Amino acid sequence: MQRIERHACFGGWQEVWRHASTTLGCAMNVGVYLPPQAADGPCPVLYWLSGLTCTEQNFITKAGAQRYAAEHGLILIAPDTSPRGDGVPDAEGYDLGVGAGFYLNATQAPWATHYRMHDYVVHELPALVEAHFPASDARAISGHSMGGHGALVLALRNPGRYRSVSAFAPIVAPSQVPWGRKAFTAYLGVDEAAWLEWDACALVAQARERLPLRVDQGEADDFLQEQLQPWRLQAACEAAGYPLQLGMHPGSDHSYYFIASLIGAHIAWHAASLGGK
């Protein structure tokens, strides 16, 4: 682990670290916010998964989350959205390849060697975080858009790993919308039955635990009707008896202005499950 940035922030430190990922076969950057409470011992961790085109920088520079993490004593971990670098496959367009890992384990060539973001976020990254920083094993997860999809799917696929899950404008049914269908065809192949293992609406039906689940969605989001469709998740949760806190927000769009408006409420909501310091 090599620290490449460090900035004093709300009594703590916003850092960026780089490491060689054995899961992804490339170097990865990770944003790490250490609240002031981390100087006194282990703190709970909130993992943030960003959306299409993003790096680790978008969340740490635009969301304003550090203030609230400092108030509640939470470490914030914001990884990149995909493998990156020489030898990592890419594609034309913003919604496939670099910057568009979709937080799954690809099974198809040429993607399968590097595009294993599920295993990276669920296994390799927490092991590094808990070994190198004053982090407890109390974890929560959140994300935006493609990263909201990732947060929902990772939490539903890995019972016992997270204590709460939230999302801003998530892709809730990727097997049913253009962004997801394009990515899943490339990464997972043409067997649509295999796609359901990475679709939150399908996973809710077989969930073995009932995590606190919160989703917030802007009603002025340009992607609401075609790509996001939160009503699909609402219906799936109702059918499965899975409690969902869904907030619809008039005037809010898909941008970080929306995230910044609600990130304090999300962090406080996660802190209630994590027991912040």
- Could you list the pLDDT tens digit for every one of the 277 residues in the chain? 999 999 999 999 999 999 999 999 999 999 999 999 999 999 999 999 999 999 999 999 999 999 999 999 999 999 999 999 999 999 999 999 999 999 999 999 999 999 999 999 999 999 999 999 999 999 999 999 999 999 999 999 999 999 999 999 999 999 999 999 999 999 999 999 999 999 999 999 999 899 999 999 999 999 999 999 999 999 999 999 999 999 999 999 999 999 999 999 999 999 999 985 5
Query: Does residue 246 fall inside a structural domain?
Result: yes
Query: Does residue 261 fall inside a structural domain?
Result: yes
Taking the C-alpha atoms of residue 132 and residue 95, their distance in angstroms, rounded to an integer, is: 33
Query: Does residue 276 fall inside a structural domain?
Result: no
Entry pTM: 0.97
Q: What CATH number does residue 134 fall under?
A: 3.40.50.1820
Query: Does residue 275 fall inside a structural domain?
Result: no
**What residues pair up with 242 in beta bridges, in sequence order?**
none
Instruction: Give the rounded distance of the alpha carbon of 48 from its chain centre.
Output: 5
Taking the C-alpha atoms of residue 17 and residue 5, their distance in angstroms, rounded to an integer, is: 7
**22: burial class by Cβ within 10 Å (0-12, 13-18, 19+)?**
exposed
The set of catalytic residues is 145, 221, 254
Return the sign of the alpha-carbon dihedral for residues 133, 86, 117, 227.
positive
Phi and psi at residue 142, in whole multiples of 5°?
-150, 170
Q: Tell me how many domains the chain contains.
A: 1
Distances, alpha carbon 208 to alpha carbons 143, 157, 196, 252, 262, in Å: 22, 9, 16, 33, 29
Which residues constitute the domain of residue 224?
A: 2-270
